[in-house]
Amino acid sequence: MTTEPTAIHVEVLPARLGDCLIVECPRLAGPTWRMLVDGGPPDTWPLLEARLRRLDPADRHIDVAVITHIDNDHIGGMLAFLSSDLAADVGDFWFNGRTHLSASAPGRARSIEQGESLVTALLGPPSGNPGAKPPGRALPWNAAFGGGPVETAAPGAPGATGATGATGGVISVTVPDGPTITVLSPTTGGLARLADSWSSSLHDALQPRDRGLAPPADVLGPLDDLPHLAGERTPSDSSVPNGSSIALLLERRGASIVLGADAYGNVLAAGLHGVARARGLQNLTVDAVKLPHHGSQANVVAALLAAAPASHYLVSTNGDVFHHPDDAAMARVVLDAPAGPTLRFNYRTPRTERWADPRLVAQHGYHVTFPDPAHADAGIVLDLPARR
């Protein structure tokens, strides 16, 4: 019996309440293609640094580093990464800064703002600054998009300069002997809304989400009526930074994964339906979905699950502060996903462990995995095999 080679390798590191992912596409010849997605909160950096330094120094290159949006639980570790020598090994940073928000909202004034120092930290100070890291050069910024914003295109709108496949609202970047990456979020409107609150959003992003008083104790309700939980009316996500999240569909050799960041569920659904329509399909079956916003009920909506039925659903959170994943979100996954999906949690907590109840698993026909206790610092590790 032969085993198909791995097309996409995914690691969802234990970043507490945040996101920190490493995605790799091994090649038969040449270096591995590698993407880093977010850095978790600041205290994730030692774990991320150790993981990256374990790479062969001859193959430590990161082709793309994505900073999905300005929330502390996503950028905190990236700030430390960007001040390290490892940032010099990144081929392109994908991040929508203030200049891209202005492009999405023409006519808005572009003044110097309090938070502009964060963009400097992300992209490097001006050339010639002796404190520059890496010295004397700015980091590559949205080069795959001609320096423009990373965003979906409205139907019929021109695509991003430098990207390929920018037709019918679908903007994709194809890497030779690597993956095809399609942008699902944000929309132009999502970036324009962030333009109105750029300074305050940046200020908030620099504040730890879990500072101050301890959050209220997590109250764990019963899971004996999943249809009722799944059908609960829940408010939509109204966070402006979340609405600017860069979410991606990554495909290679027949394998596929949706990297949902903290994107709005309806925006992800619309983006996935756009890809499906462009291919003459009703929906887009994928191998895996990294659920948006750590399994929040405001983001994991029925429309998203219908747009991209998957075999694996990845959840990145230890439940800090906001007690994610929400029961309503996970009930929707269990009930609406194809038969036999696997829920993959990067932490075993009292909240996530309930979903491994043998009675519940047998009744609804799904599977649950947790990190190996002997290698808990690895989080979720998932290999998606090639099909062609």
Tens digits of residue pLDDT in 135-193 = 345 788 899 999 899 998 744 333 333 454 444 468 999 999 999 999 999 998 899 88
Kindly tell me if the per-residue pLDDT of 115 is higher than 60: no
Q: Over pLDDT 70: what percentage of the chain? A: 84
Residue span of the structural domain in which 67 resides? 6-99+135-209+216-385
**Backbone dihedral region for residue 41 (phi beyond 0: left; psi -120 to 50: alpha; all else: beta):** beta
DSSP state of 265: H
DSSP state of 62: E
Residue type at 308 in one-letter notation: A
What confidence tier does 61 reach under pLDDT thresholds 50, 70, 90? very high
The answer to the question of residue 124 being in a domain is no
The answer to the question of residue 114 being in a domain is no
Measure the CA–CA gap between 336 and 137, rounded to whole angstroms.
49
Continuous segment of H or E residues that includes residue 275: helix 265-278
Q: Dig out the tokens for 283 from the structure.
A: 């929906």
Q: How many domains does the chain have?
A: 1
Instruction: Give the CATH number for residue 190.
Output: 3.60.15.10
Measure the CA–CA gap between 120 and 262, rounded to whole angstroms.
23
Measure the CA–CA gap between 43 and 279, rounded to whole angstroms.
42
Q: Dig out the tokens for 47 from the structure.
A: 């774990």
The answer to the question of residue 113 being in a domain is no
DSSP state of 251: E
Residue of 266, 274, 113 lying closest to 190 (CA atoms)? 266
Measure the CA–CA gap between 158 and 179, rounded to whole angstroms.
23
Q: Could you tell me the pTM of the whole model?
A: 0.90
Query: CA-CA-CA-CA torsion for 80, 81, 85, 89, nearest 10 degrees?
Result: -170
The answer to the question of residue 104 being in a domain is no
The answer to the question of residue 87 being in a domain is yes
| β-strands 180-185, 6-12 pairing | unpaired
Measure the CA–CA gap between 103 and 22, rounded to whole angstroms.
30
Tens digits of residue pLDDT in 328-365 = 999 999 999 888 999 999 999 999 999 999 999 999 99
Q: What are phi and psi of 90, to 5 degrees?
A: -100, 130
Which pLDDT value is given to residue 170? 81
User: Within a 10 A sphere around the Cβ of 291, how many other Cβ atoms?
Assistant: 28
Q: What are phi and psi of 107, to 5 degrees?
A: 95, -15
The answer to the question of residue 122 being in a domain is no
